[in-house]
Structure 1
Amino acid sequence: MKVGIFGLPIAIMRRIIACIVCILTVTSLRAQDSEPLLSRLKQTLLQAPEYDRIKLRTIDSLKQQLQQPGNQTPPAAFTIYARLFEAYKLFHYDSAYHYARLLQQTACRMKDKGRIAYARIQLGFTLLSAGMYKEAEDSLANMYILAEPDSIQALYYSQMARYYYDLGDFDNDAYHKPVYIRKGDVYIDSATRLFPEDSFDRLYLLGLRAIKAGDKTAAQEYFGRIIHRPNLSDHELALSTSTLCDIYVRNNQPDSAIQLLAQAAIADIRSATKETSATFILAQLLYKKGDVQNASLCINSAIADAVFYNARQRKVQVSSILPLIEAEKLSAVEKQKKSLITYAVAVTLLLLAVVVLAVVVARQVKKIKAAQQVIVEARDKEHAVNERLAETNERLADANKIKEEYIGYFFNVNAEFFNKMERLKQSLEQKINDRKLDEIRFIVHHNINLKKEKEELLRHFDQAFLKLFPRFITEFNALFKPEDQVALKEEELMNTDLRIFALIRMGIHDSEKIAHILQYSVNTINTYKTRIKNKSIVPNEQFDQRIMDIKTV
């Protein structure tokens, strides 16, 4: 007995590995959701024409190579025919059959037995893919294969195994099918001995045989090893997943089978494979699950592929389920139609009720609007009164501030004036008693300076006003262009222009009173006012109001 690591027999180790792979495969399938895969499939179906164009560009390139002078010899032509056949064999039956025949003819001209055998096997593959079992048997029968290289023998045995398995699935009866499966098993045994130990072909054939035998664990082991291989081609992935799904179909696990078939269908589209059953079987499972929309999408794709490839048996298979899906779609449409009629009646009744309610509501709204209009008018009047009261209160408060400030100001000025007069009186009385007339004249001449008193009076006024209206000069200048704004001299608080409108801001609008306070003529004051307003950037009739809008502290 052969012993592996940990001292366990190799057979037991293989069984443990098989169980682990089986668990990983099932867990992976359960972790996935069908909806994202089906959404990916829909998106990939939209991209199918682009994948087909890529395939056709490859084919056109091979055909161009065939026209080159160096490729006219039989060996070179045979190589290109073989590559063209590989490109067509899962893409288009007629073209694949054409190049398989050219392979056979070229091999016969070369009298190369190995190439003749290869060509017959490929021709048999093409006929088998088209469902032409009798013609496939004629192509593959009576071949003496033992003298051929291992690669040709392995290809032949694989083809014969597929032939008997497909024939058993086609007959699908209790008598013939088991006989064909046993024959297929024999050929798989022969083929697997010739393929490398861990090759895709060997693992696939072993997994296929396990499926036919109903050995779920072994099948999952082999296909699990394939699916988790790196650098797996799209066609290999599609072939593996679509074959493995048979296990889940038999075990009544449609969700897992749908996930595998969706992956297979996506891979088939990406590899431009038209000879495929993935979309057809997927359509069947989706139909049984009740997903008629996606089932219809898949069956239409399967029809398009079958027609394009010209696979006879696939057309028959598709035609068997297409009427059922279309009938289900029609039934769904009828149900929707009945539902729409029911909804239409309900909506009509609701609409009538809404119309009646709308009439009632409209009348009520009309009454409410009339009442609201009365309320709004009263509110507007109240608002207007409140605004006028607020404006009046603001003016009163403004006037009170001005009065308070200037009452204090004048009391201070008068107190200072009376002190000065009192000192002057005492000095004059002293001089009069002493009869010093020259000194009296000197005191009167030097101590009483009316110009200086006026300037002092205006300076006190400027200080008091700017204390009350600190932003007056800034806001006054904002009414003019920069070049027309007031520019004060050094140590000058205000000039005549500013004082005129400062008095206006304090509520003195009469030009005669302003002239009396500033000791100018009325004409001079009016000239000042007119000149200043003409320079302003606001209309003359609005200028005084803008001055009155300047706020106190």
Structure 2
Amino acid sequence: MKYLILNLSLLFIGYFAFAAQPHEQEIASLKTVLNDKANYDIQKIKKIDNLKAQLDKDEQISLAQQYNIYLNLYNEYKTFKYDRAFHYAHQLQRVGEQLKDPAKIAYGKIKLGFILLSSGMFKETFDTLNTVKVKLLPDSVKKEYYFLTARTYYDLADFDKDDYYTRIYNKRAATYIDSALQLCPKQSFEYIYYDGLRYLKGGDLKKAVSNLQYLINNQKLSYHQYAVTASTLSDIYIQHNNPDSAVTLLIKAAIADIKSSTKEAAAMLNLAQLLDKKGNTQDAYLFIKQAMDDAVYYGARQRKVQVSAILPVVAGARILYEQEQKRALIFYASLLTILSATIIIFAIIIYKQLKRIKAADKLVVEANTNLLHTIDKLNEAEKIKEEYIGYYLNIISDYMNKLEKFKCSIEQRLTTKRFDDIKILVGNINLKKEREELFINFDKAFLKLFPNFVHEFNALFPPEHQTHLLPNQLLNTDLRIFALIRLGINDTDKVARILEYSLSTIYNYRTRIKNKSNDPDGFEAAIMGIKAI
């Protein structure tokens, strides 16, 4: 009996020693920063709001001032949210055109190229960069153009992973880096980092490590610069089969990304993969979920695909790990039954462990359910976007054709000085009919996406307040208002402008219809719950 107790004690010591994971303290630091992530994002948003407030000031600001504010907004958004950065990159080009400054227009294109690359859109990146007239750029902007082009070729080489094309892309990238380095001070971050990147892609890992270690140890880097440098250095350690050093660097890079509110980053994703390979499935799952949240928030298509490919593997490994824990607990329970004096103690331990595991299983199921729900919403939003982009392109094309015909008719009558005919031609324009046709096309496009909308809408009302359409009528004003709301246009002012009603009219419509429903408080939530096909 004495030896049995000793053996059981040794088993428990071995179990808990095995459960202790390496990098525990570093991971705990990352989790602490992760818990404070919302505050870092709030600080970022406040900074953005302050910049936006400068555009909304009463006093007139010059185009040059607008350009600088748009540039600052772009810089805040470029690693934070793709669609807003995309918007401000176009604003830079627009203001550059108003200023008739080719250099500013080109700079806006370079900024657009950066976020297109960040989103994994290689063709669009090259198409944009190919329109830049490099000779017009000052050296500071020319340097940025060369670095961005080099990075595009490097990323394309990594994406292809083809023995033939990867060598070609890496060679082209090195040429652009050489051109950029000639425009950089030798002690600058850009020079040392990209010189190291060139060594890395060229296979000279020793010199690459030397450059990157020098940056980390001897230069005062911003959070973003540190994250980029540490992530790049971690790749080298992974290639050298030194995962422990890579994990340490990736943890530090992920902390820096959180503190700088960088959503378009690979550190958290790479860290999750390494931890999963090392058997730390719980932390791997936590961090892979965080990587997915950031990718969805930023709108990085390529990153979402990468995370989506890895997430099920990590989740599956976590479930297997928990199942192994269950089997281990059963094994210990069978041994502990021999010792009647310790049965109660170990039974309590097992009960608590099983309770934790059950709670963990529930969390996993809930997390996967939420993830599937998020993916469904993303797919629905993508489908709606594609449908309405096509719809509006067709509408615009039709109106352009009509406008072209109208223009030709006017020109013919002007040539022959038939001015009375022009008056007749203009008088024949039936704006009411055009507007009705526009609404009919909108109704068709909407009902194509939501064929059961009218039926499900009526199900929210008692029979006496249900909507009855006229023959050949697709939607009426009541239905059209809530069709726009279902598409995400919830602002009453926008709805009023689209339907060409006054703000008060739309407000009264919404209030009146909602009050007639079975559940006024949950009415609009029920509208948003109507599914697309």
User: Per the shorter chain, which TM-score range?
Assistant: 0.5 to 0.7
Alignment correspondent of 2:181: 192
Letter in 1 for 2:286: L
Tell me the distance in 2 between the aligned counterparts of 1:177 and 1:196.
Answer: 29
Alignment correspondent of 2:87: 98
How much has 1:345 moved relative to structure 2? 4.1
Tell me the distance in 2 between the aligned counterparts of 1:353 and 1:61.
Answer: 65
Q: If the length of structure 1 is used for normalisation, what is the TM-score?
A: 0.57
Does 1:208 find its partner at 2:197?
Answer: yes
Tell me the distance in 2 between the aligned counterparts of 1:147 and 1:266.
Answer: 39
Which of 222, 229, 235 does residue 218 from structure 2 map onto? 229
How much has 1:105 moved relative to structure 2? 1.1
Letter in 2 for 1:297: L
Matches within 5 A, 1:75-224: 75-224=64-213
Letter in 2 for 1:283: A
Cα deviation, 1:298-317, whole Å, max 9, x if unaligned, reads: 21111111111110000111
Residue 353 and residue 213 in structure 1: after superposition, are their counterparts in 2 closer, same or farther (change >3 A)?
A: closer
Partners of 2:102 and 2:136 within 8 A in 1: no
Alignment correspondent of 2:284: 295
Does 1:54 find its partner at 2:43?
Answer: yes
Q: Structure 1: where are the runs of 5+ without partners?
A: 1-32, 356-553
Alignment correspondent of 1:304: 293
Alignment correspondent of 1:12: none
Matches within 5 A, 1:339-488: 339-348=328-337, 350-351=339-340
Cα deviation, 1:126-181, whole Å, max 9, x if unaligned, reads: 11101111111111113220231101100100110011001111111111111111
Cα deviation, 1:51-107, whole Å, max 9, x if unaligned, reads: 111100100111111111446321111110000000000001011111111111111
Tell me the distance in 2 between the aligned counterparts of 1:140 and 1:212.
Answer: 22
Partners of 2:153 and 2:170 within 8 A in 1: yes
Q: What secondary structure is seen at the aligned counterpart in 1 of 2:136?
A: coil
Letter in 2 for 1:234: Y
Partners of 1:242 and 1:261 within 8 A in 2: yes
Residue 300 and residue 109 in structure 1: after superposition, are their counterparts in 2 closer, same or farther (change >3 A)?
A: same
Tell me the distance in 2 between the aligned counterparts of 1:339 and 1:324.
Answer: 23
**Higher CA-based Rg:** 1
Partners of 1:211 and 1:246 within 8 A in 2: no
Partners of 1:37 and 1:262 within 8 A in 2: yes
Tell me the distance in 1 between the aligned counterparts of 2:48 and 2:179.
Answer: 34
Residue 308 and residue 192 in structure 1: after superposition, are their counterparts in 2 closer, same or farther (change >3 A)?
A: same
Q: What secondary structure is seen at the aligned counterpart in 1 of 2:36?
A: helix
Alignment correspondent of 2:30: 41
Tell me the distance in 2 between the aligned counterparts of 1:226 and 1:148.
Answer: 28
Matches within 5 A, 1:505-524: none
Tell me the distance in 1 between the aligned counterparts of 2:285 and 2:270.
Answer: 12
Cα deviation, 1:355-384, whole Å, max 9, x if unaligned, reads: 9xxxxxxxxxxxxxxxxxxxxxxxxxxxxx
How much has 1:348 moved relative to structure 2? 4.9
How much has 1:37 moved relative to structure 2? 1.9
Alignment correspondent of 2:240: 251
Where relative contact order (Cα < 8 A, 6+ residues apart) is larger, the structure is 1
Residue 354 and residue 41 in structure 1: after superposition, are their counterparts in 2 closer, same or farther (change >3 A)?
A: closer
Residue 109 and residue 201 in structure 1: after superposition, are their counterparts in 2 closer, same or farther (change >3 A)?
A: same
Does 1:268 find its partner at 2:257?
Answer: yes
Alignment correspondent of 2:305: 316
Letter in 2 for 1:325: V
Tell me the distance in 2 between the aligned counterparts of 1:154 and 1:182.
Answer: 18
Tell me the distance in 2 between the aligned counterparts of 1:209 and 1:106.
Answer: 35
Matched residue pairs, number? 323
Alignment correspondent of 2:419: none
Tell me the distance in 2 between the aligned counterparts of 1:148 and 1:214.
Answer: 32
Tell me the distance in 2 between the aligned counterparts of 1:265 and 1:353.
Answer: 45
Partners of 2:117 and 2:152 within 8 A in 1: yes
Partners of 1:65 and 1:71 within 8 A in 2: no
Cα deviation, 1:218-258, whole Å, max 9, x if unaligned, reads: 11221122112343111111111101111111111111111
Residue 353 and residue 106 in structure 1: after superposition, are their counterparts in 2 closer, same or farther (change >3 A)?
A: closer
Tell me the distance in 2 between the aligned counterparts of 1:60 and 1:169.
Answer: 37
Cα deviation, 1:393-452, whole Å, max 9, x if unaligned, reads: xxxxxxxxxxxxxxxxxxxxxxxxxxxxxxxxxxxxxxxxxxxxxxxxxxxxxxxxxxxx
Q: What secondary structure is seen at the aligned counterpart in 1 of 2:218?
A: coil
Tell me the distance in 1 between the aligned counterparts of 2:219 and 2:87.
Answer: 34
How much has 1:36 moved relative to structure 2? 2.5
Structure 1: 4+ residue segments shifted above 6 A: 352-355
Q: What secondary structure is seen at the aligned counterpart in 1 of 2:134?
A: coil
Tell me the distance in 2 between the aligned counterparts of 1:354 and 1:53.
Answer: 52
Residue 108 and residue 284 in structure 1: after superposition, are their counterparts in 2 closer, same or farther (change >3 A)?
A: same
How much has 1:353 moved relative to structure 2? 8.9
Tell me the distance in 2 between the aligned counterparts of 1:104 and 1:71.
Answer: 20
Tell me the distance in 2 between the aligned counterparts of 1:353 and 1:56.
Answer: 57
State percent identity of aligned pairs. Answer: 45
Residue 330 and residue 189 in structure 1: after superposition, are their counterparts in 2 closer, same or farther (change >3 A)?
A: same
Tell me the distance in 1 between the aligned counterparts of 2:286 and 2:170.
Answer: 33
Cα deviation, 1:518-551, whole Å, max 9, x if unaligned, reads: xxxxxxxxxxxxxxxxxxxxxxxxxxxxxxxxxx
Tell me the distance in 1 between the aligned counterparts of 2:108 and 2:54.
Answer: 20
Partners of 1:130 and 1:311 within 8 A in 2: yes
How much has 1:329 moved relative to structure 2? 0.6
Alignment correspondent of 2:231: 242
Does 1:277 find its partner at 2:266?
Answer: yes
Q: What secondary structure is seen at the aligned counterpart in 1 of 2:283?
A: helix
Q: Structure 2: where are the runs of 5+ without partners?
A: 1-21, 345-533
Alignment correspondent of 1:435: none
